[in-house]
Chain A
Amino acid sequence: MRQFLRRQRYLIDYSLSALARRPGKHLALLLVYTLVVFLLASVMLFTQSLRREAALVLAQSPEIILQRQIAGRHDLMPAEYLDRIGRIRGVSAKYGRLWGYFYDPAVRANYTLMVPPPGSPAHGEPAPGEIVIGAGIARTRGLEPGDYLSLRSARGEPFAFRVAALLPHSTELVSADLMLLGADDFRRFFAFPADRFTDIVLQVRNPREVRKVAEKLSLALPDTRPILREEILRTYDAVFGWRQGLVFVLMGGMVLAFVIFAWDRAAGLSGEERREIGILKSIGWETGDVLRMKFWEGAILSLTAFFLGYLLAYAHVFYFSAALFEPVLKGWAVLYPDFRPIPFVDGIQVATLFFFTVFPYTVATIVPIWRAAVTDPDAVMR
């Protein structure tokens, strides 16, 4: 065993010196290799971290959202439905929510207006005439606490709201376009009927009971539709996974080009290199030794490119907020949240990345390396 390790050490030694002796050739390959890893890793790291964020954020949201439907379209929820639900076992809390969308023609952006539900952290309901806004709105409209925001209501009257505070920067991913206001202001602004809510939400402690509760709700209120948090999570997951996969498929062409390039590099041995291998074989190196040495060369290149590419991708995503990718992966929006993804690395990610980069490279070089390694030492004598 010790001899095996020693032999590998000698071979690695030689591989390193061989790489160092032809820097130009290997540098070009290393650059391309690193770029491929960088691009793929960036996509993975970014999407993964978005997914994680979504999951973390959704963890706070209620287990069941009940929406009323008329002819398949979302309608407002009568307040008396809260009583009709009555007591269902497993439901720890239920309340009606008030929220809606508002299109601001001045900046051509959509805002989400919401009355903070009971028990929400930090803010409680804003005072009449006051609002708490997200960072996206603040940036787009140039607002600071104390400023006034004027919006045209449903009846055409202008409403002037005073900005009481801004929502914390750390919540920007979900709150960028959010505007919190008092229930009375909400109802007046939207001309919202007094006996209606937008929807009803329920909290269920035991995740195994959620479906059962949803079933009971459907029976009690047949014109409503329960939306489960786990379904939302699954949809997010699937969409993120799908989007990620799509980008990977699109990059498949790039990987293929890289593979061809790698093959070409490995196969294009100069006369000098061929001679060198011939010399090695004539002085006592076996085909197997030359093979192993060349694979170590590939391994050193691969590991360097992988490590570098991954580090650069990490920096790109987590320190520069994935500047290259935002348009593709976040969707079209005027109000971009300015957020810092939370670093998140896992084994599957690394293994998948490995299979998309190092594995194709290695496979592409197997035959060229073998061809080089079986060079006849006899030729060296002539």
Chain B
Amino acid sequence: MLLSPAVLALNGVSFTVTLMLVLAAGFALQVVRHWDLTSGSERQLELERRTYLIATLVTWSFAAAVVSLLLFVYNAEQMATQFVGAMCATGVLNAHPLGWPTLFLKILIFFAGAAWLMLNRLDNQAPDYPLVRVKYWLLLGLLPLAALEAGVQLGYFLGLDPDVITSCCGSLFTADGDGVAATVAALDPGWSLAAMYGLGLSVLGLGAVHGWRTRGGASGVGFALSGAMAFAAALAAIVSCVALYVYEHPHHHCPFCILKGGHGFIGYWLYLPLFTATALSLGVGLISGWGHIPSLTAAVRADGQRFTALALALFALFYGVATYAILTSNLTMTGVWW
């Protein structure tokens, strides 16, 4: 199991990313301790040069993490044939207790990385690098996350046993089962859709307020929180309701099968905008609190508005596609759900 090239690649990438972040964190620590912008000493110049290296390492780590997330899901899809009872990625992830945690950690790294890169971009716009210490402390927090992900993923792949009979998405995401997945699938479609649209409205509203009226710290954090909640509600709604319309089957709840070609790849149209929009909103929350620093005020405003607008557009796209999927589906649940 451990020896297939895709699995080797995934583990290799996660460990390399961890190493890159160790390097970055090491330099970050030096910067945090000795940074003094007013000094023209050689050490300060060297530290300033190091900031480029750190940014480059983190950027490439992030890019690798994104592709690795996608490869992980596809690989799980492909490995489904090797597990008894698994018919898609869900079964493969379910074959070992560390399967879902690996996926969640990868998603978490995606969000954390995106937010950090946005903060870094903000800091670079001020000649006095006011957020240098803040952002490098945060980077030190990113490192254990990456190390944990690498370890958990390794544990998952090492522990995968193809003889273990796993459950496929039909039995995992079924209302009668137990566990988180089953609970989500069992949510009343009406309520989950209501939650999705309701939180969607709130995120769009808060985003509009933040982007065009207040643009302050509080409204930014509010936007980020509502983005996170909208994300969770959207995922729940996909599993309990939207996916069913896509499959035109009242009991197929799997969140991965919508990525397959047979459904017009609609999964991409749903997940890509949703994830990107959520990442942007979290980043906006992170950068919005620094407007009180004079050298950053203009940049916070400009970046805040730009990214909020982008996030809102992507959220709108997501809700549009979800609604489209429901409306154009041949499945009718009037009389059953509504």
Contacts and interface: CB of A to CB of B under 8 A. Distances in A.
Q: Is there a contact between chains A and B in the complex with CB atoms less than 8 Å apart?
A: yes
Interface of A: 44, 230, 233-234, 237-238, 241-242, 244-246, 248-249, 287-288, 291, 347-348, 351-352, 354-356, 359-360, 362-363, 366-367, 370, 373-374
A370 B56 CA distance: 9
Contact of B52 (A241, A362, A363, A373): A373
Given A249-B8, A359-B16, A287 B67 contact: no
Contact of B74 (A234, A237, A348): A348
Contact of A363 (B20, B71, B78): B20
Contact of B71 (A238, A245, A352, A374): A352
B302 interface: no
B6 interface: yes
Given A291-B52, A366-B57, A238 B82 contact: yes
Contacts of A359: 13, 16, 64
A374 B7 CA distance: 37
> SS class of chain A's interface: helix, strand, loop or mixed?
helix
Nearest to A228: B84
B82 A248 contact: no
Contact of A237 (B3, B16, B52, B82): B82
A366 B60 contact: yes
8 contacts: A234-B82, A241-B3, A241-B4, A242-B4, A351-B70, A352-B9, A355-B71, A359-B16
A54 to B, nearest CB: 11
A185 B10 CA distance: 55
A363 B13 CA distance: 10
B217 to A, nearest CB: 27
Nearest to B51: A287
Contact of B81 (A237, A245, A360, A362): A237
A178 to B, nearest CB: 26
A315 B75 CA distance: 26
A291 B56 CA distance: 9
B162 interface: yes
A337 to B, nearest CB: 24
Contacts of A366: 20, 53, 56-57, 60
A262 B311 CA distance: 39
Contacts of B6: 348, 351-352
Interface in B231-272: none
Contacts of A237: 81-82
Contacts of A244: 3-5
Contacts of A288: 52
Contact of B5 (A234, A245, A374): A245
Interface in B66-82: 67-68, 70-71, 74-75, 78, 81-82
A234 B75 contact: no
Contacts of B8: 245, 248-249, 356
A233 B52 CA distance: 50
Contacts of B1: 238
Given A237-B81, A241-B3, A352-B6, A370 B75 contact: no
A356 B20 CA distance: 16
Given A234-B162, A356-B12, 15 more contacts: A44-B5, A230-B84, A238-B1, A241-B82, A242-B3, A245-B5, A245-B7, A249-B3, A348-B71, A352-B5, A352-B71, A362-B60, A370-B49, A370-B56, A373-B52
A366 B23 CA distance: 12
Given A249-B3, A348-B71, A351-B70, A374 B49 contact: yes
